[in-house]
Amino acid sequence: MGKYGQHIREDKSVLTEPRCPFCRTLFERPREVSTILGYFSGGTCGCGAVFSYDPTRKNMGEAFMDALAYACNEDWDLAQSLESEKDFEEKFVIYRENDHTLSSKAVSSNPKDRIVNMIFVKLKKRQTE
Ligand SMILES: [Zn+2]
């Protein structure tokens, strides 16, 4: 195990595992997800969440819409009609690509938070009409 093998692991190590913020399942490294408009870097979780990763942090708005549209089976009209909290939930994390971990830094829920580089979006179950 190396020189830290005898140490009791701190909870911090659990916090930094790359887990879906909705269901706590480990997620895979972002990959190129093909869409009708091109592709985005991200993936999906078994719980239905879609994540989108923007290492530059400059196009988080786009990354968010990519994830939301993908969650809507690429129905952009539907995606643009959805309301946060009512129709879907979003979570923001700081992903570290080098070692495939999440930063344990607290992240605000503000998408404009400049340290955020990954967005998770999950549609809420729609009420049957
Ligand atoms: Zn999940």
Whether residue 109 has pLDDT greater than 90: no
Residue (of 34, 44, 40, 65) closest to 53 by Cα position:
40
Radius of gyration of the chain (CA): 16
Q: What is the pLDDT of residue 115?
A: 83
Å from CA of 83 to ligand 1 middle: 20
Whether residue 2 has pLDDT greater than 80: no
d(CA 50, CA 43): 6
Å from CA of 47 to ligand 1 middle: 4
Mean pLDDT computed over 49-61: 95
d(CA 76, CA 55): 24
Mean pLDDT computed over 39-62: 96
Å from CA of 39 to ligand 1 middle: 21
Å from CA of 75 to ligand 1 middle: 21
d(CA 42, CA 59): 14
Å from CA of 33 to ligand 1 middle: 17
Å from CA of 27 to ligand 1 middle: 8
Q: State CA 45 to chain mean position distance.
A: 9
Å from CA of 4 to ligand 1 middle: 31
Mean pLDDT computed over 8-31: 84
What residues have a C-beta under 5 A from ligand 1, the ion?
Answer: 20, 22-23, 25, 45, 47, 49
